[in-house]
Structure 1
Amino acid sequence: MRFSHHHEEEGKCKPGFTCVNQTSAYTSAMLDTQKLVTFAAVVRLGSFAAAARELGYTQPGVSQQMKSLERDLKTTLFSREGRGLKLSEQGDVLAERAESLIADLHATEERVAAVTRLKEARVRVCAFPSANATLIPSAISRLRASHLGIEIELFEAEPPESLEGLERGEYDVVVAFRYDDQPTPDLGESHISFSLIDEPMVLMLADDHPLARRKQIELSELREERWVAGCVRCRQEFVSACSDAGFSPRIDITTDDNLAVQSYVVAGLGLAMMPRMTQSFVKHPKLRTRPLLPERHRHVTATVLRSQRGSTAVVRVLESLREAAESMALAPNT
C-alpha cells in the first residue's frame, strides 16, 4: 500500500510515498470566477442561449465555458432533456452555492478596493433621503472647510439595503435609521455604529385645522382622521403607533415624496405622522407640526466596518457627521 502526501518542493518525496505537488493539486480544484458567473446565469435563465444574451456572449462560447468548467471539476453538471437543460446532482450542489460564492467574491473585491480608496482619502457615504437633504450637506460643507482634501462619493438608499451595501464593501459610511419598535440591526462583530440623532415623530397638519392651535396632541384623539403616509418603514412605524393607541388608521394616500406629503396635508386631504427631520428642509408655508403623545422617536446612526474605523478619512467623516447632527435645529414650526 502506498500513501500520498503534499509538498511544495519537487524531488523530496519520502520512500514509499507517491508525491503530489501541492500547488498543482489546489489549482486544479479552483473555480474560475467567469465560468462560475456564466454557470449561475445558465441556471437562473434555464438555457445557454438566454445566458449568452444576458452576458453578451455567443451561445457556443457559453457552451465551451460550461464544458471547460466540467473539465475543471472533473464531473458532469448538465444533462439535456429535450430542448431544455437539467442539472446533475453535482450541478445542483454547485447551483446552491454559486450565487453566494459570486457575492462573496464581489464583496471581497469591493473591500480590497475600499482600502485603496480610503488611503486616497475618497469616502463613499450612503444615506437615506431626508438625511441627504439635511445632515449630509452640512457634514460635507464642514469637511471642505477644514481643507483636509477628503473627497466624498454620495449615494442614497434606505436601510436595510444601505447596510447590506456596507457589508458588501460598496460603501464606507452608512447613515441609517430605525424606529423605537424596530430592533437594533444585528450587524455582527464586523460593524460598529455611532448614534447621531434621536428625533421625535411629529404630527403634520394644515394651519387651518382645528387642532393646529394645540401645543401637543394625543395620538388616540385622532382615530377618526384621514391620513397621508410616507415611506414603507415610516408607514410601518405609523401603523404600529396607532395600534398602540388603540385604533387602525384610515390611510387614504401613500407617497415616498416628503414634499408631496406636506402638500396633501396642507390641501386638507389628511394628517401625517413624520420624523421631525422631514420638515426641517421642506416647509410648506401653511403647514404646522405639533408634538405627539406618547412620544416616539427615529434613531439616526452612522455605521462603518470595524476594520475601517481607524482610517483617517473615515474618522474625519464621522466627526463631521457628529458636528452636523449637533448643530441641526429640529424645533417644530409654530
Structure 2
Amino acid sequence: MLDTQRLLTFATVVRVGSFAAAARELGYTQPGVSQQMKALERDLNTTLFVREGRGLKLNEQGEVLAERVDRLIDDLRATEERVAAVTRLKEARVRVCAFPSANATLVPAAISRLRTKHLGIEIELFEAEPPESLDGLERGDYDVVVAFRYDDQPAPDLSDNLESIALLDEPMVLMCSDDHPLARRKQVELSELRDERWVAGCVRCRQEFVSACEYAGFTPRIDITTDDNLAVQSYVVAGLGLAMMPRMTQSFVKHPKLRTRPLLPERRRHVTATILRSQRRTPAVVRVLESLRQAAASLASATPI
C-alpha cells in the first residue's frame, strides 16, 4: 500500500527539482527526504531516479508515477475521508452543507424535527452553494448537501457516486415596497417591468433573473447587487428598485413594508438533497433525509405569497 506522505514528498521533489530543495520546502533534512524516496521505491519494488552528474533525474518508472501522483494523492485523501465519514455516521454524526437561505429556513426546521425523534444524532453545519457544495460532497467533505438549480439550468451531471432527492420546487416572486403601484396587483407579468430599476441577489439568482428578463424581451437595469437577503429587501422597501427572488427568502425574514407578488410566466427554483450512494442506507443519513423532506413539505404549504 502506498504511503500518502511519501507520495507528497515525491510530488514535492518532482516540482522543485531536487531532494535538497524539497527538504527546505517541507522542513525535513535532505537525508530524511532521501530515506522517504528509498522507502517509496521499496513500496513499488522499482527505482524512480537515476543519477545525472551531481543531480538526480526521473527514470521511466519515475516519469509514470510523476504523471499520476497528484491524482493518487487526491484519491487517497478522498478515500481516507470517506472511511472517516463512515465512522462518523456510525457514531450518528452527520455533516450537512446547504446554501444560505436553506440554512436559514429548511435546515433548522429539519434539525428541529430530527431532535424530537432521534436525540442521538449530532449535526455539523456548513454553508456553500452549488456546484462548490456538490464538489465537496464528492471529495468527502460533507454527508448531505442541500443544493438548488433554476428552470433554465440543467440538472447537475452527478457522478455515479452521488444520488439526489427532490425536496422542494419554489416559485420566484416579485418583491416591491407596499407603496409601489404593483403592490395592489394580484400578479405581475415580467414583460411589463422593462423600465423598472432592479436590486439583484447572489450570483446564481442574478443569472436566473437576467435570463428571465431576456426571455421576457428586455435587459434589466440592475442598480444594486448584494448577497444579503435582508439587504435586498431593505433596498426594495427604500424604493431603490424591485427584486425577483425565490419565495424561501421571505419566509425567514420579511420587512414589514415589503410586498411579494406572483410573477408570470412562473419560474421555479428546484431544491434537492444529495448524498453519496454508499451512504443511502446509513441510518443517520436516512433520518436526516426524512426530516428534510418533512420540513420541505411544511415550508411549501406554510409560506404565503
TM-score, normalised by the number of residues in structure 1: 0.80
Distance in 2 of aligned mates of 1:127 and 1:181: 21
Match of 1:164 in 2: 135
Q: Is the 8 A contact 1:78 1:91 kept in 2?
A: no
- Identity over aligned residues, as a percent? 78
Distance in 1 of aligned mates of 2:238 and 2:58: 59
| Alpha-carbon displacement from aligned partner over 1:129-174 (angstroms, at most 9, x marks no partner) | 1001001111111111114411111111111111112112221111
1:281 to 223, 242, 252: 252
Match of 1:331 in 2: 304
RMSD after superposition: 2.8
1:234 to 202, 205, 225: 205
Which amino acid counterpart does residue 34 of structure 2 have in structure 1? Q
Distance in 1 of aligned mates of 2:20 and 2:184: 67
Distance in 1 of aligned mates of 2:274 and 2:139: 13
Match of 2:184 in 1: 213
Alignment of 1:242-281 (within 5 A): 242-281=213-252
Matched, 1:102 2:73: yes
Which amino acid counterpart does residue 48 of structure 2 have in structure 1? T
User: Aligned in 2, Cα 1:122/1:269: closer, same or farther, shift over 3 Å?
Assistant: same
| Alpha-carbon displacement from aligned partner over 1:18-46 (angstroms, at most 9, x marks no partner) | xxxxxxxxxxxx54311222343455678
Query: Displacement, 1:306?
Result: 1.6
Range with greater deviation from structure 2 (272-281 or 97-106): 97-106
Q: Is the 8 A contact 2:2 2:40 kept in 1?
A: no
Distance in 2 of aligned mates of 1:196 and 1:215: 27
Range with greater deviation from structure 2 (214-223 or 185-194): 185-194
Q: Is the 8 A contact 2:50 2:58 kept in 1?
A: yes
Which amino acid counterpart does residue 64 of structure 1 have in structure 2? S
Distance in 1 of aligned mates of 2:161 and 2:143: 13
SS in 1 for 2:166: strand
Distance in 1 of aligned mates of 2:50 and 2:265: 60
SS in 1 for 2:252: coil
Distance in 2 of aligned mates of 1:216 and 1:235: 21
Match of 1:315 in 2: 286
Distance in 2 of aligned mates of 1:295 and 1:46: 59
SS in 2 for 1:184: coil
1:75 to 23, 48, 55: 48
SS in 2 for 1:270: coil
Greater RCO (CA < 8 Å, at least 6 residues apart): 2
Q: Is the 8 A contact 2:167 2:273 kept in 1?
A: yes
User: Aligned in 2, Cα 1:218/1:90: closer, same or farther, shift over 3 Å?
Assistant: farther
Query: Displacement, 1:91?
Result: 5.7
TM-score, normalised by the number of residues in structure 2: 0.87
> Is there any run of 5+ residues in structure 2 with no aligned partner, and where?
none
User: Aligned in 2, Cα 1:143/1:223: closer, same or farther, shift over 3 Å?
Assistant: same
